[in-house]
Amino acid sequence: MPDIQPNLSSTLQTARKARRISQLELSLRIGISQRHLSFVESDRVQPSRELLLMWLDELNAPLALCNVALQQAGFAPRYSSRELGDAVLAPALDAVGRLLRAHDPLPAMVLDARWNVLQLNCGARWLVSTLMPWAVNLPAHNSQHQPLNLLDAMLHPEGLLLNMTNLAETAPALLAHLRDDASVTPEISARVELLAQKIQQHLGKKPLAQWPRKMVPVLTTRFATAHGELAFFSMLSTYGTPQDITLASLRVEHFSLLTI
């Protein structure tokens, strides 16, 4: 059976629901009637390019999704999508590299939208070798080899979940984050749901709690290691106003050590 490609109406509905915004709220934000918004989402009215860009901006839609929606509406894409090795991106990638080195000896890594690990500093390599010795030979972003994928690392029998001591506490937040990512990067959806099943198997009969949106801003992840328990909280850095899809998809995850 052939895959059913989404059209503009389904793309806009999915983007709005991923942000948990009602039609009424979005219509008030962008200054149109709820009726008009409903007609666009039901494919009864074609939006102008200006309205569509304002709509997507209000939803904080990823640049790749903006291009998709524009093309579905019959407009030219707005954003470029260069390869990581493109000379135009070199200054930005150099800045990321300096940021990683400045965070040493604490771990920091660069991830793309599919959760591939593109770059690591020395602290991150040490952490990976400690938690997953089988994955110590990680390629850099310009390697011809397949980079480590953190979703695969969590699904691996000897992966990140194995020694996580507070999985029940961190899993709801992790899955909420991953499902938000999957709503705009559908190719990771299957692995995200496999991971949800794997986490439930780890927890046994204990139900996986729903992740409330308003919680403390810092969540600690704890691991049992040969060096004793390691506890980290992490922060994500992204480019604030990128105009390139590849650059917009990059994020730097910084880990801060709480206890040893």
pLDDT tens digits, residue range 29-73? Answer: 999 999 999 999 999 999 999 999 999 989 988 888 888 899 999
The neighbouring-strand residues paired with 110 are 119, 252
Domain 8-72 fold is 434 Repressor (Amino-terminal Domain) (1.10.260)
Task: Provide CATH code, domain 87-259.
Answer: 3.30.450.20
Angle at which helix 34-41 crosses helix 23-30, to 10 degrees, equals 110
d(CA 68, CA 118): 25
Predicted TM-score (pTM) above 0.75: no
How does DSSP classify residue 59? T
d(CA 78, CA 107): 35
CA angle 74, 26, 59 (to 5 degrees): 60
Written as one letter, the residue type at 167 is L
pLDDT at 213: 46
For the segment 81-100, the average pLDDT, to the nearest whole number, is 81
pLDDT at 26: 95
**Does the structure show a pLDDT above 50 at 190?**
yes
User: Which token pair is 191?
Assistant: 């692995």
Q: How many residues does the chain have?
A: 260
- CA 161 to chain CA centroid, Å, is 18
pLDDT at 242: 65
110-113, long-range: CB < 8 A, 24+ apart: 110/141, 110/250, 110/251, 110/252, 110/253, 111/150, 111/250, 111/251, 111/252, 111/253, 112/249, 112/250, 113/62, 113/64, 113/181, 113/184, 113/185, 113/249
pLDDT tens digits, residue range 93-111? Answer: 888 889 899 999 999 999 9
pLDDT at 216: 47
Domain extents in the chain: 8-72, 87-259
φ, ψ (nearest 5 deg) of residue 135? -115, 30
DSSP 67-115: HHHHHHTT----SB---TT-GGGHHHHHHHHHHHHHHTTS-EEEE-TT-
User: Which token pair is 206?
Assistant: 């204990």
Q: Find out whether 87 and 74 touch, Cβ atoms under 8 Å.
A: no
Q: How does the average pLDDT of the chain come out, rounded? A: 83
Burial of 199 (0-12, 13-18, 19+ CB in 10 A): buried
**138 by DSSP, 3-state: which?**
coil
pLDDT at 93: 82
